[in-house]
Amino acid sequence: MAKLYFSYAAMNAGKSTLLLQAAYNYRESGMRPLLFTSALYAEGDVGLISSRLGISEAAELYGDGDDLYQKIRDHQDEAKVDCVFVDEAQFLTHDQVWQLARVSDRLKIPVMCFGLRTDFQGKLFPGSSELLAIADVLREIRTICSCGAKATMVVRQGMDGRVLTDGNQVSIEKSVYLSLCRRHWEEAVGRWPVKGP
C-alpha cells in the first residue's frame, strides 16, 4: 500500500542527501523515481536537488499554483512512476499536500517528502503543518546543536552575525541559518534571559 511520508528536520541534517540516496536505490533496482523541488531553488528554469556532500540531481520544479497530482498523473501516463520524492516540502501549499496524498491514495504511488518543520521564528511552514497533520508516516531526521543536544530549531543570522527575529518566512540562503536545540534557540532570539537557569 502506497503511503505519504514526511521526513523533517532542522537545517543541515542531511535531508537532501537521504532523498538522493533513496532515489538512487530505486533507480538501481530498475524503478523510476520522480523528483521535485521548489521553484525557489531554480537555477534558471532548472530544478536541482543538491547535498552539502557534493552530490546533486536534476528535479522538476513546483510553484504555488501547480497541481502536483496532475503533473504526476501525466508522468504516469507516459511511463510507470514507482516513487515520488519532494525536496523542500515546507514550501508546498496546503492544497499541494492533499494532491500528494491523492497520489498515494488513488494512483498507488509512494510519496516521500523532505523538509523543514519550523522557520526561524519557531513557526510551522504551511506545507510542514499540513504534512504533519495528514502524512501516513512521520520521520524525524536528527542533527545536533553546538551543545550536543538534538537541534530542533533554526535561527537566521544577518550578514553581521546577529540573530534576526523578524522578516519574511522564506529566505533560501542556507548560509545564514544555524540549527539549535530549543533551549539555545530561545536564548538566541531573546525569549529567555541568558542569565536564567
Q: Residue 100: which region, alpha, beta or left (left: phi > 0; alpha: psi -120 to 50)?
A: alpha
Q: Of these residues, 28, 60, 78, 88, which one is catalytic?
A: 88
Read off the C-alpha cell for 43.
537555477
Strands (E), 39-128: 42-43, 46-50, 56-62, 83-86, 111-116
Establish whether 88 is a catalytic residue. Answer: yes
- Number of C-beta neighbours around residue 93 at 10 A: 17
Are residues 66 and 86 in contact, defined by beta-carbon separation less than 8 angstroms?
Answer: no
The order of strands in the sheet holding 153-157 is 163-164, 153-157, 177-180
Catalytic residues: 88
